[in-house]
Amino acid sequence: MLLVVGLGNPGPKYAAHRHNVGFMAVDELARRAGADPFREKFSGELARASIGGQPAVLLKPMTFMNLSGQSVQAASAFFKVEPADICVVHDELDLPFGAVRLKLGGGHAGHNGLRSLVSHLGTGEFARVRVGIGRPPPGFRADVADFVLSAFDSAEAPGVGPMLTQAADAIVDIAKRGLTAAMNARNVRPRPPKPPKPPRSVESSASVGAEAAAVQPAKPPDGEGGERA
């Protein structure tokens, strides 16, 4: 069984914030999978679903971000899910907006939700689906906390849907093929296309030929040239 955890803060006040992309991605996954309705359990909202052909539990802790580990620990203990079978979806400042990357283990990098999970589970060795929200733009004068606890701006709004789709796809891929195969397939950065070579014009080819002819020594007429006896 796979335990899929989306991190966020409860209530309409926080629903559209960057810090809540974990909740948003789990909601998108639940919609696509035809999951059971969410119900209150383990200090969170929980739904059952089939993801990638295997049973899964979707969990949105309602404890506020910095206490998320309480809900996750209770759910994992009840369903007897090992950390290796926990998949956590969270916002990531260190990725550009719209990027989605997979990772196994690691620290919390100052993310209070991850910090709480590591503390309550006793390990950080669980799968992470890192959803990029980017760093505050130049000129942003408030704290980073104010940035993550704010809504996506008008320029970002069209990219939110595709980003959540990509995160949901990644979770399905993990369920189907395992984390290592999914990481190998999805963490590859596309190479920028090489610029096309400029076409070689007929005129330039002719000029090159003329220049080459100009530097050739003139051939002396028959019977002339060379040393005379």
**Annotated catalytic sites, by residue?**
19
- Tell me how far apart the alpha carbons of residues 42 and 102 are, in angstroms, rounded to a whole number: 26
| CB proximity list for 97: less than 8 A, separation 6 or greater | 132, 133, 134, 156, 159, 163
Residue 131 region, left (φ>0) first, then alpha (ψ -120 to 50), else beta? beta
- Tell me how far apart the alpha carbons of residues 51 and 48 are, in angstroms, rounded to a whole number: 9
Q: Could you give the maximum distance between any two Cα atoms of the chain, in Å? A: 115
- Tell me how far apart the alpha carbons of residues 142 and 24 are, in angstroms, rounded to a whole number: 25
Instruction: Tell me the angle at which helices 157-177 and 179-186 cross, rounded to the nearest 10 degrees.
Output: 140
User: How many whole angstroms from its chain centre is CA 192?
Assistant: 18
Element (H, E) at 228: none
CA–CA distance from 197 to each of 66, 112, 194, 200, 206 (Å)? 54, 50, 9, 9, 19
132 within 8 A of 96, measured Cβ to Cβ: yes
